[in-house]
Structure 1
């Protein structure tokens, strides 16, 4: 490689390290703050980040999208709306056109494409990208209401992806032979945020009225929870209060177990969680052992520990792997042992805080900042390699780029009916 081509490739790599990032997610930005929000908020400090969400059915006769800004971040959500009567082919064609419209309007050239679901790759596969990233948080094909073709969609995305991340080691082991550049990244923890729960701040009013001992769970309430376990636990320990915080998804509210000592407090903001956890004596992870939990690596495990609360969990593989020997984590294989583990966790909580020290030492390597920096290094590496390949392919040809246009917040852009 001669000097001029070396300089050109370096310049291209520098430019593309500032390329906008489009994150395709089945989870909405303002639903529950978890892995996508932690990572994208950090990427947004160095580049424009757009969060392209799952489409919303509409009664309107054409497809269009909305741009939503949010307080406290420069990340903007792109929310497509598609007529509810269109079939899958019509819908994907419309979404592809909407994506093209957005790229033209924003002036984004060769963006980074980051996927949390393979289903959205179908309408984005034609985009010329600086890099394609697949951050596989879960085995979505095993989730309720997943598309029948999810595994085929994932195979297509894996074939195109420059780098693949997984949300835990079990998921990595299941997929490591499917890609040559794949890396396990269990979710991180915002230690300082959850340390606030150790200060015994004033409990929110809706929880303060609940008598103790209090054992709590926060997160999405869906098919991953063992509802029968929760019901039997409440019956076995009538003097304990079991608190559940979070939105209900993919299960009917009437199917939730009900008892005088089970309390559903609804969805709370991420910033409120330490105040709620401060009033708990222990934290729960009553996950069902099924296809949807086979490969999960729950973010809430290190969050609960950072909050200084003993954790009682069912036998989730990655929880056993990473926390099975940690004092303060109790793993139970059936309802009877789960109830006994709750008793043991409460005894530990009342014995003092000596068990916090080894937990805090373990959590030092689990920050979101460290997770982000490691991912960023891998992304920069693939941008450099794909950027040079793109320069070589385009050498000797002229390329015209559209003038950059400012994004007008709240502007709605539509695609005519098919």
Structure 2
């Protein structure tokens, strides 16, 4: 039985195993079915994805075709734009020529107008002169004399018949110019510690007395020697200038530069040749007058290429007008004005409108409005203008130009026919012809500045009849201050700048309101004395002296970028003293941080530096416990520096006046420069220049003469020697500190310049900044053998990084 039982058991086991396998098979079949379904689903998904990809490819092809068409249209547009630009340049040149022709015709018209006015004022005198002239010609032909004798006689006769008349505002000193040759004998007074003024004017001093002349007079009276640069050039091929002492202050001069062709400043920027000649003439002026620190006040964009080069200067743009509003200013000059706005250290705006415009270009904007000569206009002269018909006088004085509303004044004349409308000023729009049908309108033409009170004090009401246009919206009218100085009631069209006068001026919008205001003023005459005094009291606080004081304060409080100077010391105390003394006395820069890193000096240097820095938070001293070498020591100073501009300066140097501003000016004007250094008397590369001085005491004068003659000039140099270099913080942040592999020194300056150039920046040498250098005062203590060994070791380090070292060379002489 046992075998049978065993067989039964085995059959049972096989049955259970078979059942188990069947179950597994069923599960496997289900899994296979599930996978088949998944595969089918994936197939469907793949097909759908393929369809979507196909659609996207089609869309991509359409987009590429559209892009190709757009690129083609862009190329066509660029070609069209270039063609239009060429046409615009041609049209601009044509417009410049037309403006020049127009200016010539206007000049002829002014002469004819003046001639016509003279005939109208004195017809009998004109007739007598004409008869005398004809008679003289008959006598001239009849006289039995030689041609030479006749010529002399005719010259004298013409001088008698046509005597020279002084131009409006001309003083007695204007008839003769006093040339200022480059000579130390010229007695130009110093500015008593204040910067001298170079005022680059928009008009000649004797043209019309306006804001430029009044500011210049008050700056000179305040103690600053002021050179007023005239826009009227002397036509001469040689550089130079003439100077004219001006009445009112012994510190005030008008300067006329020599420029070939004597170009007008209003039509186009200066040519390269004109800039060169102006720079040479300006250098002669600076040398002759021994000009040190200077404030350049620019009043027209033409001067910007010259003014930006002036050494040791602060650049101020006195923006008096919205020049684009004149409508006839060349685009090149408007572009130059934008560059001036951006570059100026201070932008002075004469109105709120100009301030808002200027703040888009410059963060340092100060509103300094126009003003008046209160004492001149407030005093009633002994004799004033009188109307023969004894009518009340509605008056205006100033240029009658395109911004003058002829139609408004005509409506006033027609609405008030019993009153006299008196207009005084140069007529550039043929107003005389326009008012021909208005018998109560009298045009006196332009009169000398000194005669204005004679007319002003006769007026019963004063007008400001301007058109409302961009030019006048930006204008702060000088004549309103002058009207109020005389206590006169003023009626004006509504302009933004009139709001500052409050109820002292009738400011209206419509012509009927303008006429009504004039009627109300005339109907209220005579005014109470207190009313007139209130106007004068206001004007008394709005003088050019006030404006000059505001301008000085604005310049003095200008925020200057901080400059950090790192000086590394190691013994040589006397050299260190001379270096630090020159930094303090000659830099003439208000925001200077001096960081001295002492590399464990063994002489009296540590004690001196401790005393030198005491009580001066802008002086920082770092003492090292061992000599860390040139690179590591300077890196300590750079890490401690907080300035926007960083300087590495050897302690065996002596800086010269204005060196900081000189180097900063090049970095600001040439953004591609990453690092810059000065010229010097003693260095082993192109920065070395020939000098004559034998004593350090004679160095400043020679350095000033040298740098003035090269103002604004710089050249690219492969390697700067780090006896004196300046770089903006942006360079330091990109390049980092000096490489400390070079130990005590040699080749770290070559290495740093390579790193600067690798970043796409340029190394430059400023021809108009000079720093005296004793050369290798610290290294000389090592001895020749140790110096040579250090040189060879560091050369190997340099060449392992940058390839073969190219020895420095001197400039070609």
Q: Settle same-fold status: TM greater than 0.5.
A: yes
1:178 match: secondary structure: coil
Structure 1 residue corresponding to 2:229, chosen from 48, 52, 68 = 52
> Shift of residue 271 of structure 1?
3.0
The number of aligned residues is 382
> Shift of residue 145 of structure 1?
2.4
CA contact (8 A) 1:24 1:53 kept: yes
Structure 2: distance between partners of 1:103 and 1:383: 28
Question: Could you tell me which residue of structure 1 aligns to residue 281 of structure 2?
Answer: 101
Question: Could you tell me which residue of structure 1 aligns to residue 519 of structure 2?
Answer: 343
2:506 match: secondary structure: strand
Structure 1: distance between partners of 2:224 and 2:283: 15
Structure 2 residue corresponding to 1:270, chosen from 446, 449, 454 = 449
Is 1:401 aligned to residue 582 of structure 2? no
CA contact (8 A) 1:41 1:73 kept: yes
Deviations 1:308-366 (A, max 9, x none): 111010111111x212433xx22222322222111112123324323234334433432
Q: TM-score, normalised by structure 2?
A: 0.43
Structure 1: distance between partners of 2:387 and 2:382: 11
CA contact (8 A) 1:17 1:383 kept: no
Question: Could you tell me which residue of structure 1 aligns to residue 376 of structure 2?
Answer: 193
| CA pair 194-348 structure 1, distance change in 2 beyond 3 A | farther
Structure 2: distance between partners of 1:373 and 1:61: 40
Please say which structure displays the higher CA radius of gyration.
2
CA contact (8 A) 1:131 1:383 kept: no
CA contact (8 A) 1:119 1:150 kept: yes
Question: Could you tell me which residue of structure 2 aligns to residue 387 of structure 1?
Answer: 588
Deviates more, 1:15-24 or 1:380-389: 380-389
CA contact (8 A) 2:346 2:364 kept: yes
Deviations 1:49-107 (A, max 9, x none): 2222224596x777875433433444322334542799957745324413422332441
| CA pair 355-193 structure 1, distance change in 2 beyond 3 A | same
1:342 match: secondary structure: helix
Deviates more, 1:86-95 or 1:131-140: 86-95
CA contact (8 A) 1:53 1:78 kept: yes
User: Whose helix proportion is higher, 1 or 2?
Assistant: 2
Structure 1: distance between partners of 2:348 and 2:268: 28
Structure 2: distance between partners of 1:349 and 1:142: 38
Structure 2: distance between partners of 1:180 and 1:72: 35
Deviations 1:197-233 (A, max 9, x none): 3xx74214xx554642101111222222111212222
Deviates more, 1:154-163 or 1:263-272: 263-272
Structure 2: distance between partners of 1:253 and 1:357: 34
Structure 2 residue corresponding to 1:247, chosen from 423, 426, 433 = 426
Structure 1: distance between partners of 2:478 and 2:228: 21
> Shift of residue 159 of structure 1?
2.2
Structure 2: distance between partners of 1:47 and 1:186: 21
> Shift of residue 194 of structure 1?
2.1
Deviations 1:293-314 (A, max 9, x none): 1211111112211201110101
1:83 match: secondary structure: coil
1:131 match: secondary structure: strand
> Shift of residue 114 of structure 1?
0.7
Question: Could you tell me which residue of structure 2 aligns to residue 415 of structure 1?
Answer: none
Deviates more, 1:68-77 or 1:299-308: 68-77
CA contact (8 A) 2:424 2:443 kept: yes
Structure 1: distance between partners of 2:279 and 2:435: 42
Question: Could you tell me which residue of structure 1 aligns to residue 710 of structure 2?
Answer: none
Question: Could you tell me which residue of structure 2 aligns to residue 325 of structure 1?
Answer: 503
Structure 2: distance between partners of 1:52 and 1:228: 38
Question: Could you tell me which residue of structure 2 aligns to residue 257 of structure 1?
Answer: 435
Structure 1: distance between partners of 2:413 and 2:312: 52
| CA pair 85-347 structure 1, distance change in 2 beyond 3 A | closer
Structure 2: distance between partners of 1:99 and 1:268: 36
CA contact (8 A) 2:324 2:334 kept: yes
Is 1:215 aligned to residue 394 of structure 2? yes
> Shift of residue 183 of structure 1?
0.9
Deviates more, 1:286-295 or 1:340-349: 340-349
Question: Could you tell me which residue of structure 1 aligns to residue 762 of structure 2?
Answer: none
Question: Could you tell me which residue of structure 2 aligns to residue 225 of structure 1?
Answer: 404
Q: Which residues of 2 match residues 166-177 of structure 1 at below 5 A?
A: 166-177=349-360
Structure 1: distance between partners of 2:344 and 2:300: 12
Please tell me the root mean square deviation across aligned C-alpha atoms, in Å. 3.3
CA contact (8 A) 2:240 2:284 kept: no
Deviations 1:102-135 (A, max 9, x none): 3324413453211111232134333324211111
| CA pair 159-278 structure 1, distance change in 2 beyond 3 A | same
> Shift of residue 369 of structure 1?
1.8
Is 1:355 aligned to residue 531 of structure 2? yes
Structure 1: distance between partners of 2:530 and 2:434: 37
Structure 2: distance between partners of 1:309 and 1:231: 22
| CA pair 364-280 structure 1, distance change in 2 beyond 3 A | closer
| CA pair 112-246 structure 1, distance change in 2 beyond 3 A | same
Q: TM-score, normalised by structure 1?
A: 0.80
1:349 match: secondary structure: coil
Structure 2: distance between partners of 1:15 and 1:277: 37
Structure 2: distance between partners of 1:144 and 1:212: 39
